[in-house]
C-alpha cells in the first residue's frame, strides 16, 4: 500500500509569488491534515479535511493560504502571495475513520523556501 | 512549557544502551502518538497509546502514559545506529480522536557506534 505522497519535495520561490503544494493521502483515508514546521520550531497544525469538507481550519495563519480537497481525494495548499515567513516544511497526513484507527500517517513533506 | 514538550532536547548514548525520552502535555487527551524523523525526511509513526492505556510495546519500543501527571515516556531498548533521529510526541485532545495533533519540540537522539 502506497503511503502519503507530497509534491514537490522542494520549492524555491521569490516573495510575492504563488506556490501550490499537493498531497495524495493513503487510499481510503477520509481524513487529511496539513501541518508545517517553520524555522526549527514545533510542527504546527494548519487544517483538517474530512472527505472534501474542512473540519477544522483553525491553524491557517492568514487568508494568503487556501486549501482545497475537491472530490475528497488529493488536496492542494496554495500560498498566494508568499512571504518570507512562510518558509518551512509543509507536511500532509492522513488517517482512517476513527472507529477503525486513530493513527495519522505523514508524507515526506515539502520544503518551501521563500527568498 | 508548551503542550507536548519533550525532554531531554538532545541525547547521545552508546550503541546497545537503552534510550529514554519523556513528553509532558497540558490538557486532557484522547491519545498520544510518538513519531520519528530521520534527518531531512518525513515523520514515521512509531506507536499510539490511548488515554485509557498505561503501557504499550512494539518491538524494541516501550511507551508509558501517566494521565495523572500528563506525561509519557518512550523507551528504546538495545539501541542501534539506525535509531539516530529526532523523536516527537504528539497529542490528540479531541473527544473522539482523529483530530489535530499537537506536537512537542522533539528530542534529538544520537547513537554512537
pLDDT in tens, A26-57: 999 999 999 999 977 889 999 999 999 999 99
Q: Are A94 and A74 contacting, i.e. CB atoms less than 8 angstroms apart? A: no
- Least confident span in A100-109, B20-29, B52-61: A100-109
**Nine-digit cell at A25?**
493521502
Asked if B52 is an interface residue toward chain A (Cβ–Cβ < 8 A), one would say: no
- The DSSP annotation for B32-64 comes to EEEEEE-TTS-EEEEEEEETT-SEEEETTEEEE
Give the gap in angstroms from C-alpha B69 to the nearest C-alpha of chain A. Answer: 22
pLDDT, average across residues B58-75: 96
Residues 58 to 77 of A: which have CB under 8 A from any B CB?
A: 58-59
Give the gap in angstroms from C-alpha B50 to the nearest C-alpha of chain A. Answer: 9
Quick: pLDDT tens for A5-20.
999 999 999 999 999 9
Residue of A nearest to B41 (CA): A108
**What is the pLDDT, as a whole number, of residue A41?**
84
Which residue is it, cell 483538517?
A48
* Cβ pairs A/B, distance under 8 A: 65
**What is the pLDDT, as a whole number, of residue B79?**
97
8 Å CB contact of A45 and B100: yes
Give the gap in angstroms from C-alpha A43 to the nearest C-alpha of chain B. Answer: 6
Residue A103, pLDDT above cutoff 90: no
Question: Residue B104 and residue B84: Cα distance in Å, rounded?
Answer: 18
Asked if B48 is an interface residue toward chain A (Cβ–Cβ < 8 A), one would say: yes
Residues 21 to 40 of B: which have CB under 8 A from any A CB?
A: 30-31, 33, 35
- Confidence grade of residue B1 (pLDDT, cut at 50, 70, 90): very low
Give the count of beta carbons closer than 10 Å to the beta carbon of residue A14.
11
**What is the pLDDT, as a whole number, of residue B82?**
94
Asked if B98 is an interface residue toward chain A (Cβ–Cβ < 8 A), one would say: yes
- The DSSP annotation for A22-78 comes to EEEPPTT--EEEEEEE-TT--EEEEEEEETTEEEE-TT--STTEEEE-GGGS-EEEE
8 Å CB contact of B103 and A103: no
Angle at A22 between CA A68 and CA B31, to 5 degrees: 75
Residues 6+ apart with CB under 8 A from B59: none
Residue B30, pLDDT above cutoff 50: yes
Where is B65: in which H helix or E strand?
strand B61-66
pLDDT, average across residues B71-82: 96
Residue of B nearest to A31 (CA): B98
* Average pLDDT across chain A, whole number: 92
Amino acid at each position: 500500500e502506497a503511503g502519503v505522497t507530497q509534491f514537490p519535495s522542494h520549492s524555491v520561490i521569490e516573495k510575492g509569488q504563488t506556490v501550490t503544494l499537493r498531497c495524495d493521502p493513503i487510499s481510503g483515508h477520509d481524513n487529511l491534515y496539513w501541518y508545517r514546521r517553520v524555522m526549527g520550531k514545533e510542527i504546527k497544525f494548519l487544517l483538517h479535511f474530512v472527505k472534501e469538507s474542512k473540519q477544522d481550519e483553525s491553524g491557517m495563519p492568514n487568508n494568503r493560504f487556501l486549501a482545497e480537497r475537491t472530490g475528497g481525494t488529493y488536496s492542494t495548499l496554495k500560498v498566494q502571495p508568499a512571504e518570507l515567513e512562510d518558509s518551512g516544511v509543509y507536511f500532509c497526513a492522513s488517517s482512517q475513520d476513527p472507529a477503525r484507527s486513530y493513527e495519522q500517517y505523514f508524507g515526506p513533506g515539502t520544503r518551501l523556501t521563500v527568498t | 512549557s508548551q503542550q507536548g514538550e519533550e525532554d531531554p532536547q538532545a541525547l547521545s548514548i552508546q550503541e546497545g544502551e537503552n534510550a529514554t525520552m519523556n513528553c509532558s502535555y497540558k490538557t486532557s487527551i484522547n491519545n498520544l502518538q510518538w513519531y520519528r524523523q530521520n534527518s531531512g525526511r518525513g515523520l514515521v509513526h512509531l506507536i499510539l497509546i490511548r488515554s485509557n492505556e498505561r503501557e504499550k510495546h512494539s518491538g524494541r519500543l516501550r511507551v508509558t502514559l501517566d494521565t495523572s501527571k500528563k506525561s509519557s515516556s518512550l523507551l528504546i531498548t538495545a539501541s542501534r545506529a539506525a535509531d539516530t533521529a529526532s523523536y516527537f510526541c504528539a497529542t490528540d485532545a479531541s473527544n473522539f480522536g482523529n483530530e489535530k495533533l499537537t506536537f512537542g519540540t522533539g528530542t534529538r537522539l544520537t547513537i554512537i557506534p
